[in-house]
Amino acid sequence: MMAASSSSTSSSSSSSVAHGLAGRSIASVSDLSSEELIAVLDLADDLKKKQHEGQSHRLLPDKTLGMIFQKPSLRTRVSFESGMTQLGGHAIYLAPSDIKLGQRETTEDIAIVLSRMVDIIMARTFGHDIVEDLVKHADVPVINGLSEREHPCQILADLQTIRERQARMAGLRVVWSGDGNNVAHSLMYGAALTGMELFIVTPPGYEPLDEIVADSRALAVKTGASIHVTNDLQSACKGAHVIYTDVWASMGQEEEAAERKKTFAPYQVNMRLLENADPSCIILHCLPAHYGDEIDYESSRSPNSAIFDQAENRLHAQKALMVLLAGAG
């Protein structure tokens, strides 16, 4: 009887955490607690299993997702649109020319109008302030599909992939090689919330924002995580369980691409880098990849690579997030 009671209590606690996400917006990974993040990943795993086994999981029937895009995308659009269809709902793609945020009408007005017509808003923007304004003025959940400051949906998929391949998250040595960009920022929060040892490795002058370093380290105190910022890639990769990279010049930085290519050359992820890593080490890249620059083709197709599992998991992690924010989990 005691064991059954304990199991029931645990299930009730998990359900309570999931229900606590209903109606919320996610502009940053740090908007989630450690328990809430795990609840998203657990549901993502369940939904992935259901899809792979051909089981229906129409948890959001007749619900509508409004998708605002300032930046074009393959993975973000297809994963959200396909995900909403699989959940029994409908997604509307709003192209940059359809809305012209802040030009044709204000972000405030867009948030208010969409709140009366859709059930969830997803926005892929340049400025993070746009996401924050949508959150402020919308009466429905808002999901940050990407901003110049963070990419929370990507990190949910990354954590799902890491847990699948390594069977744990706490205590893993994770290395980020490249620019201290929006993905790095969200990864820092994700690592802090899950107890990882994270090394953000960048060329001098390309480190992540100091305030996010400080915030993530404050979160890390609660989980036993550690967040390091360094320029020494070789040392960071010793015993690494995960090595992660991204393009050296993000969208909007095209004019810097040639200079960045020279500066970032020593930070390429390749098979040589794996020599001192843990034998189980996986390679991550959020795509699109520029083979021969931040990553070589060989390592991207090696048994260590989890790049395409990572891409697929955008679908499952985002479905889980939408279900929980809609209160259907």
User: Which residues are catalytically annotated?
Assistant: 124, 151, 154, 246, 286, 314
Q: Please, are residues 154 and 186 in contact by the beta-carbon 8 Å criterion?
A: yes
Q: How far apart are CA 233 and CA 176, in angstroms?
A: 9
* Chain position carrying tokens 């859709």: 118
d(CA 176, CA 246): 9
Q: Assign 303 to helix, strand or coil.
A: coil
- Pairing between strand 173-177 and 142-146? unpaired
User: Considering only CA atoms, which of 216, 213, 218, 248 is closest in space to residue 230?
Assistant: 213
Task: Residue 60: name the closest of 312, 320, 316, 315 by CA.
Answer: 320
CA dist 90 → 61, 84, 137, 145 (Å): 8, 6, 23, 17
Is-contact 150 128, C-beta < 8 A? yes
